[in-house]
Amino acid sequence: MPTSALTSASGRNRPLPATGNHSIRKARLAILLSGRGSNMVALVNAVQHGVLQELGEVVVVFSNKPDAPGLETAAALGCPTASLSSQGRKRAEFDADVVEVLHRYQPDYVVLAGYMRILSPTFIRAFAGRILNIHPADTHQHQGLHAYEWAFENRLPETKITVHLVDEGLDTGPILAQHAVDLRGADTLAEVERRGLAVEHRVYAETLAELIKKERHAEPAEASRVASPD
Ligand code: GRF
């Protein structure tokens, strides 16, 4: 249990200064995936030697699929892992169990990285305003699965990778960042995905880093007040 895991008035952990010294504790990241986990790898790389190095730590990589390849990759990268099979489970009941598991790790942010589940209100409310997702299209134009197929089939000249906060709708939460991907001349779906994923892997970590920095600067008064030992 980290001594510096602070809970604000809103009941959320905050990436705030640690108690008793002037160092800033790192934001605790729970990464959720269901598949290969290439975005997870990019995030872990950013934590280990990139833009998230001084800002975040991966406290768990969780999957609803115990055999997801991304879990094994995460373990090989040195990350704690956890899983609970969602197979045959009712959404709200499963999500309540996931919330219980995740609470053990006290995440500041829940980072969805190819987590192929629609989240129930139970889950969203447990981490309100703290859940991020990356969507491989402009969420105003396309929601749900198969965004690269959509861009390819419609021969779009570009698509927009979107990082957003997750609310109770499907890809409807507030947008944190969007980055255009030039798709001109991409004549296979594989090429569309290759170009898109290269951008995804860069912008997810960058956006998360910006968010952590912004929240650190936004709440220094609350930090020193809550963190003060006396
Ligand atoms: C990515 O395209 C991401 O944008 C979407 O699901 C895919 C996951 O890929 N939400 P990976 O497992 O991170 O490789």
- Give the CATH number, domain containing residue 58: 3.40.50.170
Please tell me the distance from the alpha carbon of residue 33 to that of residue 39, in angstroms, as a whole number.
9
Structural domain contains residue 230 = no
Nearest CA to ligand 1 atom 7: 114
**Is residue 19 a part of any domain in this protein?**
no
Query: Is 91 contained in some domain?
Result: yes
Could you report the per-residue pLDDT of 17-32, keeping only the tens digit for each? 443 444 589 999 999 9
Residue 16 pLDDT greater than 50, yes or no? no
The protein residue with its alpha carbon nearest to ligand 1, atom 8, reads 114
**Mean pLDDT on 88-93:** 97
Total number of domains constituting the chain = 1
165-210 pLDDT per residue, tens: 999 999 999 999 999 999 999 999 999 999 999 999 999 999 999 9
**Which residue minimizes the CA distance to atom 9 of ligand 1?**
114
Q: Which of 103, 135, 146, 201 is catalytic?
A: 135
Tens digit of pLDDT for each residue in 109-151? 999 999 999 999 999 999 999 999 999 999 999 999 999 999 9
Q: Domain for residue 57, yes or no?
A: yes
pLDDT range class, residue 218, cuts 50, 70, 90:
confident
pLDDT mean across residues, the chain: 89
Give the H or E element holding residue 161. strand 158-165
Residue 44: domain span: 27-223
Q: Flag whether 77 is in a domain.
A: yes
pLDDT at 221: 52
pLDDT of residue 129: 96
The question of whether 135 is a catalytic residue gets the answer: yes
Cβ neighbours for 4, distance < 8 A, ≥ 6 positions apart = 16, 17, 18, 19, 25, 227
CA dist 124 and 32 (Å) reads: 14
Within a domain: residue 161?
yes
- Which residues line ligand 1 at a C-beta cut-off of 6 Å? 33, 35-39, 70, 113-114, 134-136, 200
What is the token pair recorded at 34?
Answer: 């269901």
Sign for the CA dihedral angle at 119, 124, 126, 131 comes to positive
Give the distance (Å) from ligand 1 centre to CA of residue 224.
38
149 C-alpha vs ligand 1 centroid, how far in Å? Answer: 13
